Structure 1
Amino acid sequence: MTARAEVRIVEGRVVADPGVGPVAMVWLPLRGQVIAKIPRRKGNRRWLHETVGIRSPQLDGDRWQLPRSCLVRLVTAAVDRYGFIVLWRDMSKLSRCTRACLEATGAECDCSCLGAHHGQDAGGWFERVGDALVADLGECTRTAVVYGTRDCDTDAVIYQGELAEERYRVDRVGRRHWPAAAQFMCAGCMTARASVWDHCHTHGFVRAPLCNRCNTRHWRGWHPQYGRAAPSPNLDDSYYRWCPERADGFKPCSS
């Protein structure tokens, strides 16, 4: 089984292993809205509105200004879409760590744990990857944390439609009874452990668990210059059938 590719922060720069697709970044200042920089792609506004659940996402140049209340949903959706997200957070030096930073809304708090515990109880849908980068800005402390999919130490099994006809959700309540994607083999290549839940963007249904490479292959294709190996001989897109509103037996829904 292939090793899990990773994203890390080196001297303030985001560094991704070969084969990792574009990485989203979000900044949570002490006050005001969340600032998100997500890879340019057709349909970003629709994704923020329909998938993340933001009523009126505002684009300013190449950055989105979003309500603070959407942060955990945004992290969950971005991890499913890109495999990783980098969260920059400004925290008051006088704050104290409380139970709030262990709950689902914990990614929105600012406290003395330097982000080490934020989001640990966020339904188990993402986890911190590597160490937090810490910078002293005088009145506040800025941390940068990479979040990725939650790993699994059990043997991966073949997906059998455990979430068939389930609507794709990114909120804690909506995913309460979902198994982790990492419990399954990737339904696309069947050679790597899955990491994210793929869904039909046209109809909104969960389709299957995929590894990050299979999940992003439609964006850039399988090209060596992107650090991607040639697809496995058994690569196929038959997992599209798990969308119950698929038009016919051959034509796939949108990815």
Structure 2
Amino acid sequence: MPISREYARSLFADLTQNAPVPLDPDELLHMPRLRQHGHVFFGDIAVRCYKHKARWTYDERDIRAAGRALADMEVGLDDVVDVQLPAYRDIPERDPEEWHRPNWRRQLVSWMFARAQDQLLEQGRHYDAWGSWRNIGANGLPGELTWEEFVASSSRARHLQNIAGTRPLQLLTWSGENWLLPRAYVDLLDRWERQQAELVARARLCSSCGEQGPYWGGWRTPTTSGYITRCPPCSGAAFQPYTGHLRGVQYETIRRRGTRADDYLCRLCKASQASAWDHCHDHGHVRGPLTELTREFLQVRAPFR
């Protein structure tokens, strides 16, 4: 039975209120990585998202099954293991595709060092990319960062708290030499890495020819029934190029006519199916069809357009 995101969130929260692993039911509302693979993760459990009449929903059976499994999970808080966090890697060293792959240990390190950098800026101190702030202190954190400051800064944003729908900082402890987490929780996150990688690998394949697309979902296009993956050549064969014939027409006019943006290729990349009409919010004039990714990029750069 399809249920709304709001009801799914409420039901899941009730089922997992005593779960041994800290969870964030709001993941069901925000749907992170939806474009990549169409699921929401809680640990290694992937809850599939469905789209019906342009609205995202869940299957109630999936929510109940995930909630029961997580509530019944056994986690020995005294049975802990060394997390073995990797060394910090700066941006110039990153391989774009490799960096997008799930790696919860690297994510924890990224949170720690990002906060240490922010601390320098907040104190008005000169930022040196290779400065002493990169040195690990006696508390296991970089620079002069304290555990209280780290937790407080992480609480301000969901993306600095959650990994696979769970909140690792509520279980993470420093032994004086190593970072520790419950063994069962470490195993859970390791399984999540494998599960997510498998889902993304399947979602990367063009639905028409099977060609593999970019890891971060550049070929994924939203439709009224969900996301579909289509490579540029297959998109070019399936959709018509936009010739600029609607530029300057009022957006409300083409909406009343039922002229669909997803009948066209994106006016900028000219390789992917468009998903929305880009238009001027001040004057209402249509600029042309865009993909979801391109539209998000232009919205970020809106002050410069």
Task: Give the TM-score normalised by structure 1.
Answer: 0.30
Higher Cα radius of gyration: 2
Bigger fraction of residues in helix = 2
